[in-house]
Amino acid sequence: MVTPKDADPEIDRGAAAAEDAAKAPQIDPVEAAAEVILRRALDAAPDLKKALAAAGVAVVVQMPGAGWMGPVKTVWGRVVWPHSDVDQDGDSIKTPFWRFPAHHTAWVVYRRDGTQKDLSPGRGNAGVSAALSAGCPVVGFSPVPERHLPRDLMRVADLRIVIPPLDAAALAETLGVLTGTLPTAALSETLCRRIALEDLRLAWRPGTDANGYMGRLRRLLEAKAASTGVVLGQLHGMDEAVTWGMALVRDLAEYRRGVLPWSAVDRGVLLYGPPGTGKTTFAKALAGSCGVPLISGTLSQWQAAGYLNDLLKVMRAAFAEARAAAPAILFIDEIDSFGDRTRFTHDNKDYSIQVVNGLLEELDGIGGREGVVVIGACNHPGRLDPAITRSGRLDRTIAIPLPDQQALARILRHHLGGDLPEADLSKASLLALGGTGADCERWVRGARRRARHGGRDLVIDDVLDEIRGLQRARTADEAYRYAVHEAGHALVLVVEEPGALVSASIRQTADTQGGVVADRRDRKPVTRKEVAGRLRMLLAGRAAEEVVFGDVSTGSGGNASSDLAQATMLAAAALNAYGLDDGVDGLLWRGLPTPDTLPATLSLRPDMGAQVSAMLADGYAEAKDLIQRHRQELECIARLLVERETADGTEIEILVYGGEDGDAIATPP
C-alpha cells in the first residue's frame, strides 16, 4: 500500500484512536458512581443481599441527595434484582390488591423527593399493599423517606438501606470502573463535597485514563471553589454571622457523613442590616466554606416570569434545584419585598397573599427541604411577614451591622491585596467609619484607577481621596456649621449613653454632609425615659446650631431618614404602638407607623399630631438646655471634626470626660 506523501501518520493514528473510542461501549460516569455507592452500601451489611432475595420484600433506600435517585434506581435492577426486567411506578397503581397482576419478574418502585406536590405519605399506599400481596418486591427511594414515601411502605419496610455520599474512595473506585485504572492521587474530601452529578459527566472524555479524568475533575472543582471568591474566615465586621456560619460548616459536614440528623442542623437564617454590609457576600462565603452549591433568587426575579402561576412555578423550581443539589444553600435576597400579609390593603392583596403562602409552603410545606439551608436577607426585617421567621423556617435572626474601624481596616486590607503592604490604614479606616464593605471595595477600585490614570504606583492618599469622594468645596463657615450640628448629636450620646457613640463625621457623601454612628445593641429596655433621651439626641443637631449660631439650617429635615422624620416616627410609635403615652385616650395599640402612612395619619388625627408635636417640643427644649450647659465641650468636638473630618467615639469621650490625654470637662451621668 502506498501512503500519499502529504499524509500525516500522527493524524492517522489519532483518527484510528477516535474510531476505536467511538466503538467502545459508553458508560455514564454518574451511573458508574451510583453503582459504586450502592454496592458499598450493600457490602457494609453482608446479610442484606440474602434478605433482598425474599419474595415480596419491602425496602426503603435513603439517598444522599435527591439527584442520586434516578441513577441509583437505574442501577438497582442489575445490582440487586438482576433477573427482574420489569419495574412499575408504584404511584401509577390504581387497582385493588386482589386484582393486581402477579409478575414474578416485576418490582414496584417509588421515587419521591418532595417536588411533586400531590405525592404525600398518604398517597400510594394502595399500590404498596397490592404489590406486596402479589409477591412483588417494593422499593422506595427518597432523601427523606419519612417525609415523602407512602406511609404504609414505611410501616412494613423489611429493610432500610442508607446510601453513603460519594467520597474520595468511592470516586477512585468509580474511575476504576470507567477507565480500568486507578488514580495515583486521591481527590480531597473538601473538593469531593463540591461534586455535582453533572461534574462527573463534564470531566469524562472517551479514552481517558484515571489520572486524566481526575485532573480534569479537580480543575473543574477548584474553579467552582474559586468562583465563590471568599470564605468565612475572610469576612470582617459580622462576628455573630461568621460564628453561626462556622458552626453550620461543621454540622453540614457531619450531616453528609450520616453522623448528624437533619433535624439537628440549623436550616434557616434571616440576615438584616444596611445595604452594602455584606449579606450577599456572606452567603457566597458560607457556600464556599461548606463546599456546597449556592442557588439564589429574589421575588423580583421570580415575578419577571409572568403571572401568579408562573411566579410560583419558578420559585418552586429554585427550591427544587436546591433540593436536587442538596446539601445546598438557597439565598433569597430582599426577602422583605414579600411583605406582611396583615398589612396588604392594595388592589393586589389576594395576589400578594398567595405569593407569601407559596413561599411558606416551600419553606416547610409538604415537600420539605432536607439538606437545604435557606438564607434570607433584607434591610428592613420589620416589613417581613412574621410567619416567615417562625420556628422551623427562618427561625434565627442575625444583624449585619456597619463595620467598626478595626473591621474596616481589615476589609480595606483584603481588597488592597498585595498593594500598600506596609501602609498604616488607621487614618483611612477612621475616615471610612459609617461606610460598608461594599464601599471599601469601591474605594480601593477607585484608588487603583487614580494611580493607573496618573501613570504611577498606588499610594495611601489615593485611598483617602476616594473615601472623601467628590467633595463640593466648603467655606470655613459651612464646615464649622456642619461640625456643630454633628457635635450636638455626639455630645448628647456621650453625656446620656456613655459607650454608645461609635463615630462622628463631617465627611461628605452623596446623601449627607456628615453623621454619627451609634451602637445600641446592648442598651437597656426602651422606656419613656429612653424615648425622651433618643428624641433629645435626634434633635440635638438642630439645637446645637441654634445655640451656637442663633438660627438653624435645613440639616435636620428632608426625607424619611432625616433627624426630624426619625424623631417624629419615634414619638408617634411611642404614643400609638409602644404603650408609652400618658393614657389620656386609654391604653390602646393603634399600629406601628411607617414613613408611608404617618403623614396621612397625622393629617387625619390632629389630636395625635398635637401630642407628637408636644413631645418633640419637650425633647428639643431639653436638648438645647443640655447643649447650653455643655457648650464648651460641644465646640471642642466641632473643632476636632473640622480638623479631622471623622473622630471615633472613644476619642470624643476622652475629650468630654478627660482621661489619660486630658482634663475632665464634663462629669459622666
Residue 422 annotated as catalytic: no
3-state helix, strand, coil in the chain (%, to 5): 55, 10, 35
Distance between CA 109 and CA 124 in Å, rounded? 11
Distance between CA 270 and CA 211 in Å, rounded? 43
DSSP state of 659: B
Distance between CA 532 and CA 135 in Å, rounded? 79
* Helical segments of 44-94, H only: 48-52, 69-80
* DSSP bridge pairs for 518: 501
Q: Which residue has the cell 438557597?
A: 330
Q: What angle do CA 62, 64, 66 make, to 5 degrees?
A: 85
Q: Which residue has the cell 437545604?
A: 372
Helix axes 631-644, 606-629, angle to 10 degrees: 90
> Within 13 A of 184's CA, how many CA atoms are on the CB side?
4
Residues counted in the chain:
669
Distance between CA 290 and CA 343 in Å, rounded? 38
Residue among 112, 187, 125 at smallest CA distance from 154: 125
Residues 173, 362, 370, 486: which is the catalytic one?
A: 486
Cβ contacts of 197 within 8 Å, gap of 6 or more: 30, 67, 68, 71
Give the per-residue SS3 of 89-139. EHHHCCCCHHHCCCCCCEEEEEECCCCCCCCCCCCCHHHHHHHHHCCCCEE
Per residue in 528-548, is it b (16+ CB within 10 Å) or e — as a string? Answer: eebbbbbbbbbbbbbbbbbbb
With H, G, I as helix, E, B as strand and everything else as coil, classify residue 167. Answer: coil
> Within 13 A of 225's CA, how many CA atoms are on the CB side?
17
Give the residue numbers annotated as catalytic, written as ranges. Answer: 486
